[in-house]
Amino acid sequence: MPNVVITVDCEGAHHDRCYTADFVDVLESEFVPASWLVHVSMKDPSANTNLYYREFVHKIPNWHEVGMKVNFENDRGYVEDPKERGNIIRIAKDTLKSHLIKATAFRAGAFALLPSDIPHLEDAGILVDSSVVPDADYKMFVDWHGAPHEPYHSDPEDLKKVGKNRLLHIPIAVHGGVHAYLDLGFEACKPIFEANMDREVVCIGVRDYVDSIEALRHTIRFFREKGAHFTTLTQAASEHFEHHEALTATR
């Protein structure tokens, strides 16, 4: 049975509703951890960090994790310049650090991760990324067709190829071109879950501004009945190292 990782894109400060308190209640009642990826954008760098620090961090159990989600954008739109993207990562890290959050997990907004971002993420102490949507129909800025579905280290020049970057990618579960976000509803996600049941990790997305409360509850119970193990992105990366890389190194 796979590890199941539930990730939450924390963007509620930019929307009318935020369901984080409800998600925490469900996760606590089911004793399931999540990776909360706090959104930082240069349009308003500290909005979500302030919201989570003020309202939610003290409510999220310490057996969860808090990471960062970065939109590579500014007031002029999408940012492609590698130096400016590196600066956005640095500001995001410092913004979270100023609120006592040391992030080791990351997701790029719109899944728009580029090879030039990896050294900046590694320098910022990021250990695991979940920006890959392999073979998904969604491709606003990056086309991830052909990327691995299993956790992998990417090539410095082509993130869709296996290589020797230190950072570990844990792809979001995809099937039939659809990536597993619970805003779709449990029934729409169920075929994705079933198609990925033999994977090392099934990574699932939740958006804090979408009412996915019942979908989250059904998803947890679905996987629990299958005997799956729930964990966080960083813990899944640690277990991947123990089961694959550490074992290889001792031979």
CA distance 109 to 124: 17
Rg (CA), the chain: 17
- Is a pLDDT exceeding 90 seen at residue 207? yes
- Is a pLDDT exceeding 60 seen at residue 248? no
CA distance 215 to 46: 29
Helix (H, G, I), strand (E, B) or coil at 8: strand
- Number of Cα atoms under 13 Å in the Cβ half of residue 250: 7
Q: Which residues pair with 74 in a beta bridge?
A: 77
Weakest mean pLDDT among 39-48, 64-73, 168-177, 228-237: 39-48
The whole-number average pLDDT for the span 131-138 is 97
The DSSP-derived string for 76-88 is TEE---HHHHHHH
Q: Say which residues have a Cβ less than 8 Å from residue 138's Cβ, sequence separation at least 6.
A: 111, 179
Quote the pLDDT of residue 43.
81
Model confidence, pTM:
0.95
Helix (H) or strand (E) holding 188: helix 186-195
Question: 3-249: which CATH architecture?
Answer: Alpha-Beta Barrel (3.20)
- Is a pLDDT exceeding 90 seen at residue 227? yes
- Is a pLDDT exceeding 80 seen at residue 246? no
